[in-house]
Amino acid sequence: MLVAGNWKMNTDLTAARQLASAVVSAVGATSGVDVAVCPPYVSLDAVFSAVHGSTIRVGAQDMHAEDSGAFTGAISAPMLRSVGCHYVILGHSERREYFGETDASVNAKVHKAIAAKLVPIVCVGERLEDRDAGVQNDVVSAQLKKGLEDVSSAWPSGLVVAYEPVWAIGTGRTASPEQAEAMHGHIRGLLVDQFGEEIGRHIFILYGGSVKPGNAAELFSRNDVDGGLIGGAALSAEDFAAIVRAAEGV
């Protein structure tokens, strides 16, 4: 199981330090659950220091597909490694919607992340109109196939997939456990097709979209739900720790 907090564009440096320290205290020692926090770029270094000595790892929310060069405003995989990042979220629906991220750019970043020994958390998920039209599996299949094209992950912990239905992100509307389980089973099939049984069965598939302390246990208890990518609730150390506990309990 993996529980990762996506802080999005929240917390300045001081608040990020405080939240990271509070998360370390609230989460404490964990068993059977990996925990990560993904603060804004400018706080990565400070948050890495704040969680140092705990089991909590640090991730970034995006990266550029090139290592260096004339890309004003961009941050590369080696830079993320240099500040202690273990994970990088790629293809989040907000990146796709507001920053022109495509499956092709996600794919380029996934390759670069893996080459830099960062673990990509690759986000997929359908919009409400896709679900209403009943094409959610096709949409997610296309995102995953293109996003992971030519990726041959040699070990399962080197790749994480997050299923985040767009209509459930930040809306307070969660996929039902049945909907989550059905899509996670679909994604598992795609991963087994691509990577074979041994690796495909062990890649973590996270659910994301309005996960809260009150619904986490039920979602995490479902087949193929290997934890969560947590947005709003990750900004409260207590709520985030409660969600980690829920993951420990399954």
Judge contact between 80 and 48, C-beta under 8 A: no
**Identified binder of ligand PGA from the candidate list 18, 129, 170, 249, rule CB under 6 A:** 170
Residue 184 a catalytic site member:
no
Residue 94 a catalytic site member:
no
Residue 125 as a binder of ligand PGA (CB under 6 A): the answer is no
Judge contact between 90 and 70, C-beta under 8 A: no
**Phi, psi angles (nearest 5°) of residue 206:** -90, 150
Q: Output the residue with the shortest Cβ distance to ligand PGA.
A: 231
d(CA 157, CA 201): 11
**Identified binder of ligand PGA from the candidate list 30, 210, 215, 236, rule CB under 6 A:** 210
Residue type, 37: V
Contacts of 209 (CB under 8 A, 6+ apart): 125, 164, 165, 167, 168, 169, 171, 173, 174, 175
Exactly one of 64, 92, 184, 186 is catalytic; which is it? 92
Residue 121 as a binder of ligand PGA (CB under 6 A): the answer is no
Residue 169 as a binder of ligand PGA (CB under 6 A): the answer is yes
CB of 87 to ligand PGA, least distance (A): 13
Stretch that binds ligand PGA, among 78-86, 114-122, 148-156, 207-215 (CB under 6 A): 207-215
CB of 216 to ligand PGA, least distance (A): 11
Residue 164 as a binder of ligand PGA (CB under 6 A): the answer is yes
Buried b / exposed e over 76-114, threshold 16 CB at 10 Å, is bbebbbebebbbbbbbbbbbbeeeebebebbbbbbbbbb
Rg (CA), the chain: 17
Stretch that binds ligand PGA, among 27-35, 108-116, 137-145, 203-211 (CB under 6 A): 203-211
Question: Would you tell me which residues interact with ligand PGA (CB under 6 A)?
Answer: 6, 164, 169-170, 208-211, 229-233
